Structures are given as structure tokens and as C-alpha cells.
A and B are shown apart, each in its own frame.
Chain A
Amino acid sequence: DAGVTQSPTHLIKTRGQHVTLRCSPISGHKSVSWYQQVLGQGPQFIFQYYEKEERGRGNFPDRFSARQFPNYSSELNVNALLLGDSALYLCASIRQGTYNEQFFGPGTRLTVL
């Protein structure tokens, strides 16, 4: 039973570039959330998607966008990268139910130079 997978594991970009991060949820889960975790802090909510529709958005600029595909995998896109975008980007697979438990992937470590 595969868990949440994310790719790539690590990524180095320069300011102004764009990046695409990918996530595959746990089999059978139809919803994912994206979080940004800056070093030394707790994760911050970016987006949630369910059945390919955006269900929520955190306090992030429009440079951040995401989408979900028919197979429930998801992409997070960040344009015009800033140094402050350097962080661990986490994808959570959500088990739909009364409390919608969230299970996190290993994350993608993005470094912006």
C-alpha cells in the first residue's frame, strides 16, 4: 500500500524562475492539500483540492497555483520565485470522513538562490 509520493525530492532554482512540484495521494483518496514549511516553523496551508476543484486557499500570493488531475494527483506551481520561497513543500493526502485525516508525504525541498 503506497503512501503519499512527492517529486522531486530536492530542487534548486534561481530567483525569477518557476517551479512545478508533484504529488500522488494514497490510493483511494480524492483530496489533497499543499503546505509550505519554512525552516524552523510549522507548515502553512496553501491549497486544498477535492475532485479536481479548489476547496480552499491560504494566504499566499497569486504566484502560487495548483491543480488536480482526474487520477487525483496534483501539481503545485510557483512563478517568479523569490528567495523567501525556499522551503519544504508538503502534500497531504486526505481520507474523507467525519474528520478528514491528513497524511503527509516526504516533501520537496526547494532552494531558491
Chain B
Amino acid sequence: GESVGLHLPTLSVQEGDNSIINCAYSNSASDYFIWYKQESGKGPQFIIDIRSNMDKRQGQRVTVLLNKTVKHLSLQIAATQPGDSAVYFCADRSGGATNKLIFGTGTLLAVQP
């Protein structure tokens, strides 16, 4: 069935370093992908999205890369800050009449001062 998963459940980085969070998806028909950040006790916060007709998209300190050949997605965070500490989820939109998002299990990003 469809699934979106993450390779690394926990990522620990030093403040100021760059972070890379990876995600694999299985539905080759997926046309839209989103990264969410979730801090403890809060709902997921939209970070950045990418359409399947793109392979890279940049935001403020974040870049998402999409490799459709191997069905892989990554989130790069530049100059990681303590405030970036959170769980990061990738999600795939199933499309059709239902806008169901399929989430992976998440990666915990821990930023060390």
C-alpha cells in the first residue's frame, strides 16, 4: 500500500551546522509533498511544499529536494538553530477527491548548543 517513511528517527546536530532529514515514499503517482514541523504539544506547522514537476524548492533557510527516480524527498535546514528542535514529518497527498495526507513516522531533530 501507500506509505511515506523516514530513514532516521533521530538526528542530532550542532547549532550552526546544516541538517538533512530524509524521507522515502512509495506511491509513484504522488504529485505533492509537504514538510511539517511539530513542536512538543503543538500541531504540525507547514514548512515547505514541492510539486512533482519540480526537483528543488527553496524557502527561508530550508530547501526541499525531490528525486522521483528513487522516490526520495529531503529537507535541508541551513545554519540549524535551537528553535529548529522538533519532530519533522514528510507527507504525501493522495490526490483525488479526498485530500488525504499520508504521514511518515517523523524524525526528531535535536540541536545541541
Comparing B13-21, B59-67, B74-82, B91-99, the segment that makes contact with chain A is B91-99
In the complex, the answer to whether B103 meets A43 with C-beta atoms within 8 Å is yes
Interface range, A side? 20 to 34
Interface hits, A26-76 → B, CB 8 Å: 31, 33, 35, 40-45, 48, 55-56, 58
* Contact residues in A for B31 (Cβ distance below 8 Å): 99
* Contact residues in B for A42 (Cβ distance below 8 Å): 89, 91, 103-106
Number of interface residues, chain B, beta carbon within 8 A? 25
In the complex, the answer to whether A56 meets B99 with C-beta atoms within 8 Å is yes
Complex Cα distance, B46 from A100, in Å, reads 13
Task: From the candidates B36, B51, B98, name the one contacting A55 in the complex (CB within 8 A).
Answer: B98
Given A42-B89, A45-B100, A48-B99, the answer on whether A104 and B43 have CB atoms closer than 8 Å is: yes
Q: List 7 A-B contacts (CB under 8 A).
A: A33-B100, A40-B105, A42-B103, A42-B106, A43-B103, A103-B46, A109-B41
